[in-house]
Amino acid sequence: MRTPRVLALGMATLVLVGACSSGGTPAPSAAPSTAASTTPASTAPSTAPASAAAKADIRIGSDNFYESKLMGEIYAQVLEKAGYKVERKFGLGSRQERIPTMDAGQIDLVAEYVGSGLGFYDKTKITGDGQANADALQAAIKSKGLTVLGISPGQDQNAFAVRAETATSMGLAKMSDLAAHQADIKWGLPSDCDTNPLCKGALVEYGITYPPAKRTPLDACSVPMAQALQGKAIDLAEFCSTQPAIAQFGFVLLDDDKKTQPAENIAPIVRDDYLAKVDAAAFKALLDAASAKVTTELLTTMGQDIDVNHKDVAEVAKAFLTSQGL
Amino acid sequence: MDGVVAFFTDPANWQGTTGIPNRLLEHLVISGLSIAVATLIAVPIGLYIGHTNRGSGLAINLANIGRAIPSYAMMVIPLPLTLSLAPVLGYDPTFGLDFLPIFLAMTFLAIPPLLVSTYAGLRSVDRDLIEAGRGMGLRERQILGRIELPIASSIIVGGFRTATLQVIATATIGAILSGGGLGRFIFDGLNQGLAGRSSIYAGAILVASLAIGVDLVLSRVQRRLTPVALRAPRRSGRSGPASVVGGPDLAAPAGGAA
């Protein structure tokens, strides 16, 4: 009979529509404990004067890897505890995708590595000094209406690593040792190495003829890069110095003796039009206090918790803030 | 747009291991090998379950794992294994990085459409014809070969076309694990930020062109392999012998009879 079928279909549709509209809170990394602290002033429009009580809603973005999400989550939780309402937009892609997103005003704050961040705009000004890089980065992005806040003491630099047995058999402890063996090893380098002075430029400075004969293109700091090194598909890999895989597999980081890699302290970048909506000084103080506690050791251990021990990023961030009394 | 034109007119992009011809060849090799192996696995199983109508549920559900799991996951999950087996089975670990994972993932991707279309093609054959064949004294293998296969051939080739299209388009992800093929243009371009945009577009155009080109060739093959009596007439009007068989319009593009 036709009528019961139509009725059944109609009821099913109603149920579905009801479920979709009521059930939809898909915030993947939401911190539910602070939901109650939303202040009424937080929905003030952008033309409202920057009163001391104003804590405008903020959208925090991050790049696609765990450390960027971790830093974003740390800043998010610090702000939520202080009464801000935070919308997380993590995992936007790599720097190339995230920067246009921020320029277009879709996010208000993101954690940046001052060396590579500066390199995106002006590769000539990169140095081994974190504050100098931060200042140069600020100068480069001032015209876009962005401000760099205080830097962390901790860094996560690009680093080249080999397996422990390779280090022993070829006598490799620092990057300068590589030139003598360059033809014998299989190089795992990212595909943008050709155009990246931190990669190609650094290798050339160490006496490597570029491009190396045996070259395998893999993403730097990625799990396939670590697996390929472990599985002997490559002999030298490019990692990030706080990456958990290094300790996990017992790889040996080669010392950057010519200091080709820039200082990579972490600092939040925030849009000026957002700062105008809040008490800028208090906002900066809040985030600077958090950044000041982020050391290289803590970045490494937190990375291990997330990557090796598979803990949730939000949990790790919360544990960090609790242990630092923030 | 001019970046893309510049990409295609740059002679450096047409030479050597990183040039378009070599990448095209690599792409065809990876796709071709996976489809060939998938065919060797899926079609015999499909013929068996289609002819006997036994075990079809199990076979099809197992096969659909290849569709359910994202190909990227199917590529990175076996990676530790393909690397650790290298010294055991005696191949270069680089092969276990840039070829085996993508090959496995593409084979698993191609199996479901092939299996399902083979099964569906055989099931679409009018039972009366098969009974008639038995009545004539034909053995099971002869029924399969002389009655079922010719009628089902168009649907089976349709499944082959679907599988081929999916594999050619998806084999681009092999570039993530340093594999070759047309995906290299896309992936390397992604890593180069704004400067790499034309490479990304060019790679996408190349993959799409290859997939469409191969599909056009296969549609010709599909038509050729359909017995003349079963081909739908090119003009509409008389419905022709297709209605006698009682099946669907078999010569029409049956892109995956799933």
At A163-213, the pLDDT tens digits run: 999 999 999 999 999 999 999 999 999 988 887 778 898 999 999 999 998
Strand partners, A268: A111
| A237 and A309 share one domain | no
Closest CA to B247 of B230, B222, B233: B230
| Overall number of domains in chain A | 2
Residues of A in contact with B92 (CB under 8 A): 233
* Most B-contacting residue of A189, A192, A198, A223 (CB-CB within 10 A), to test interface: A192
Find the CATH number of the domain harbouring A296. 3.40.190.10
| A176 and A91 share one domain | no
Is the CB of A248 inside 8 Å of chain B's CB atoms? no
**Structure tokens given for B2:** 């001019």
The Cβ of residue B164 has, within 10 Å, a number of other Cβ atoms equal to 24
Residue A207 belongs to domain spanning: 158-253
The overall pTM is greater than 0.80: no
In a domain, A198, yes or no: yes
| A191 and A204 share one domain | yes
Q: State which of A253, A279, A299 marks the end of a domain.
A: A253
Is the CB of B80 inside 8 Å of chain A's CB atoms? yes
In a domain, A258, yes or no: no
Find the CATH number of the domain harbouring A195. 3.40.190.120
In a domain, A38, yes or no: no
Closest CA to B194 of A134, A159, A192, A218: A192
In a domain, A1, yes or no: no
Q: In this predicted structure, what is the pLDDT of residue A176?
A: 93
| A165 and A137 share one domain | no
Q: In this predicted structure, what is the pLDDT of residue B198?
A: 92
Closest CA to B183 of B118, B101, B81: B101
Q: Using CA atoms, how far apart are residues B58 and B103, in angstroms rounded to an integer?
A: 24
Amino acid type, B172? T
**Per-domain residue ranges of chain B:** 32-181+224-245
Strand partners, A236: A162, A187
Sheet of strand A252-253, all strands in order from the earlier edge strand to the far edge: A215-217, A187-189, A236-240, A158-162, A252-253
In a domain, A28, yes or no: no
In a domain, A3, yes or no: no
| A219 and A276 share one domain | no
Task: Name the CATH topology of B32-181+224-245.
Answer: MetI-like fold (1.10.3720)
* Most B-contacting residue of A99, A218, A232 (CB-CB within 10 A), to test interface: A232
Residues in chain B where the model's pLDDT stays below 70: 234-258
In a domain, A32, yes or no: no
B12-27 confidence digits (pLDDT tens):
999 988 899 999 999 9
**Structure tokens given for A99:** 């920067």
